[in-house]
Structure 1
Amino acid sequence: MYCENGSSVLTFDDTGLGKMYNSPIATGECDPTTRQVTMLIQDPSENEFTYTQLLGTCLVKEKCECTAIALDSLNIGGFIDSTSPFYSQMMSSDSKLPFISVSGCTTSMICASGYSLLLFDDTGLGKVFETLSASGQCIAKTNKWKVDTGSRVRLTTFNQMYGICVVNDSETPPAVSTSTTIPTTTTVDTNCTPSTLTTLAYAYSNDWDAQDFLNFWNVEHSFQSYNPQNLDKSWIKYANIRFDTVNEDSIQYHNTYDELDLSIKDHLPDPSLGFNTTATGSDILKIIEKFADNTQAPLCGARMIIFVKRYPNEVNIDRLVGKLREHHISLHIYVTDTPKGGLHSETLYNLASRTNGMCIFYNEAGYDFRWSRSQKLFYAVNPKVSGRGSVQLPVPQKESMAGSEFHLVVEDGPRKFFENVKLSWIYSSWSETMVEAIQMYSTNYGVIMLWKGDSLSNLSMQYDYSDEKVRTVQVRLYDYS
């Protein structure tokens, strides 16, 4: 028996005997003498069992895809405006990222001692908890949260769980808050600001063809070097690392872009150093964490440009997400649609979504990675969409949008079900609603230009997909001025 679309098989007979399989396939052998079916068991720890007759059905597992985002003073601007009753508290430089813990459909947000958790959603609903943490249960049918806010009547429904740790006036917050039991996110770089000069790192898989990568790099180097002042105003350090090698390479750090150029040409992909098997997953997650732990280059606001030819086998990224958020490290991940190995491309997409990055899939038959690496991110949201419809987006809290562009990643893999996305908004000096369609630059990635310097209001996204899957769209605003 076989189930499609991610369903699991439930087998049973008329005696009441039944078994749920955590896979879409169940196989049995029929004994022609007894007319009984013996089910084939792959797990040796399980006992063999027999049905008098084999009946089956497909059960669809509900997916928990509610939105939960940890915020602090550096990234909360896209989620609130000055009319919020908690505006001054949330915009304070003392506000911190909560730690997020996920277990099944339950998500908890936890603050360090000296802080209180402030939870809110896009309707204006908000609650400051007296405790350090709060938990929500994701209701799969509605994609909304049920949260215990202390109401004696019922659990409170939140459209999203947006959480931020604000100073508890009754206590003195620590200058740097750490936890010995949660080693991932409760430490925050208090000196990190959007204007801090930082590090640009390139990471590339050893599964690349050496000549192909050299050709790409020559174009990339020329493109970025054409306007060197853009590099100088953003980056004070550079790094490169070749990953997916049997013996792990060291990260190379440099003071100039030309030094980076020489180092990359000295560390081109080499097939003799690679895994030489499709079963081995990429070690890119380990490399990203290694960069996040480094002490040789500044991390605040650092950016990693990553070129993936092999997918990771891991799916748990909670610890890594915490480290990247701690220093506001963003990832621009370029992923092939024909991998050399590995299992989970969605891990890379989830990682980029949770750290304000982008995960762009490209076609091996033709790709163009040329884009300025010096753009400044000032807005990031991850709306959930399904089928055809529209969703209201938080309004960017920026007075002038001159030199800004929307960058959108519309599917968590090579484009398959995407048909169209449009953004609509009103410029502050106009009364008419502007509607702009996405201009695609890759299989799942496109850009929408802003051509006036005014601020925006009434921002929404209209979308069309040919299926009903609930998916996350990465919406980013970059400033090129």
Structure 2
Amino acid sequence: MKLLLLPALFLTVNGCLRIFGKTATCACKTLKIDRSNMHENEVKDNALYDMVLATTMKAPEILIDDCAVHVYCGGGSELYIFDTDKGAKIGDYTLDGSCDPSQQKWQLDVGNGIEQYTVLKAVCALKGTENKCYPESPAAFLFAYSNDLDYSDVEEVYSRFIYGPVFYWEKYVIVATSRFDTKTKEEIMFFENNTLGDSYRAASDYMNKTRMDPSQRFDSSETGSDVLDMLERFIDSDHYSVCASRAFIMMKRSPNEVEISKIVRKIRQWRIELNIAIEHPSSGGLHPETMYNLAAKTNGYCSFAPEIIEVSDILF
């Protein structure tokens, strides 16, 4: 009688069974996320990602045992996971899952069932650090205009706002102005006054004094508008009134940028309403559709017309 040794017939490699010379290896991908690599792992058009991005974050603990995975955060933090196109909040709990070696994809228990993730990207968000921006927050009315426009048109449009619905809403507490499309970037002005009416008049006086500066206009029609940079600087100003603000933007030059996911994310995060009036034909730039796409992705408004006053009337 011959003794058969089972281990000689069934071999294991790295904890996985090897049969007839084939190896089922668990090689599903994981990635610890923190502030240093959050942006490069963006999940586009995902509200959960946008929310986590505004928090104080740190990397979680990821434990892999053969084909099993366990992910958790320390005290005071909540766990969030993302793939290339989706995400889920795990919260205070430990995430458990397993790697399917036939597909090399994770099978994860996200709390309401098992979901499949190609790459398990995990991050811990510190509780209480979420962005506290609410629709009813006291807000600014930003009046921004291109240096390519005729100032008489800008002045005419601005004068209409004192009678418009913007000043019937108690949420607006301050007027801010920005003149963009200039060779030297100009500061965004916030007019701090006792009342909204006082702020409106102070902004008007400032614009009438500075008007347009032809010497600061771009030399080439191939140069794109810096309107997206202006919006980002407005948001990054950390002024208390940025949250839930309204931005009325008068343009004649188009941006050269097409990629807008970063500014879209910020506008959504800070609940900014965009009203974009564009005089056509453009004085320069390559991509007028960028502003239309920006408005569409942020629930804003964008309109084109041969006369800037005409298109502004549409947005009132």
Q: For this structure pair, what is the TM-score category when the shorter chain's length is used for normalisation?
A: 0.5 to 0.7
Q: For residue 221 of structure 2, what is the aligned residue in structure 1?
A: 278
Q: How does 1:158-307 map to 2 (within 5 A)?
A: 174-175=126-127, 188-190=130-132, 192-218=133-159, 220-224=160-164, 230-231=168-169, 233-255=170-192, 256-307=199-250
Q: Cα deviation per residue 1:385-406 (whole Å; 9 max; x = unaligned)?
A: xxxxxxxxxxxxxxxxxxxxxx
Measured in 2, the distance between the counterparts of 1:303 and 1:228 equals 9
Measured in 2, the distance between the counterparts of 1:212 and 1:365 equals 7
Q: Cα deviation per residue 1:231-264 (whole Å; 9 max; x = unaligned)?
A: 4x02112100111111222111113222222222
Q: How does 1:121-160 map to 2 (within 5 A)?
A: 150=107
Q: Cα deviation per residue 1:167-225 (whole Å; 9 max; x = unaligned)?
A: x9xx9852356xxxxxxxxxx422x222111111011001001223223333x24433x
Measured in 2, the distance between the counterparts of 1:71 and 1:265 equals 41
- The structural deviation recorded for 1:283 is 0.9
Q: For residue 19 of structure 2, what is the aligned residue in structure 1?
A: none
Task: Report which of the two has the higher share of helix.
Answer: 2
Q: Cα deviation per residue 1:52-79 (whole Å; 9 max; x = unaligned)?
A: xxxxxxxxxxxxxxxx74336xxxxxxx
Q: Matched residues, percent identical?
A: 29
Q: For residue 9 of structure 2, what is the aligned residue in structure 1?
A: none
Pair member with larger Rg:
2
Match of 1:324 among 252, 264, 267: 267
Gaps of 5+ in 2: 1-43, 54-72, 96-104, 109-114, 116-121, 193-198
1:242–1:249 contact (8 Å) kept in structure 2:
yes
Residue 276 of structure 2 corresponds to residue 333 of structure 1: yes
Gaps of 5+ in 1: 1-67, 73-94, 100-111, 120-125, 133-147, 157-167, 178-187, 374-481
Match of 1:361 among 304, 308, 313: 304
Residue 296 of structure 2 corresponds to residue 342 of structure 1: no
- The structural deviation recorded for 1:320 is 1.9
Q: TM-score, normalised by structure 2?
A: 0.59
Q: Secondary structure at the match of 1:334?
A: strand
Measured in 1, the distance between the counterparts of 2:183 and 2:88 equals 50
Q: How does 1:9-158 map to 2 (within 5 A)?
A: 69-71=45-47, 97=51, 114-116=78-80, 150=107
Q: Secondary structure at the match of 1:202?
A: strand
- The structural deviation recorded for 1:116 is 3.9
1:282–1:310 contact (8 Å) kept in structure 2:
yes
Measured in 1, the distance between the counterparts of 2:87 and 2:179 equals 46
2:151–2:212 contact (8 Å) kept in structure 1:
yes
Q: Secondary structure at the match of 1:223?
A: coil
CA distance 1:275–1:300, shift in 2 (3 Å): same
Q: How does 1:412-431 map to 2 (within 5 A)?
A: none
The alignment's C-alpha RMSD in Å is 3.8
CA distance 1:241–1:149, shift in 2 (3 Å): same
Q: Of the two structures, which has the highest relative contact order with CA contacts closer than 8 Å and spacing of 6 or more?
A: 2
CA distance 1:196–1:366, shift in 2 (3 Å): closer
Q: Secondary structure at the match of 2:211?
A: coil
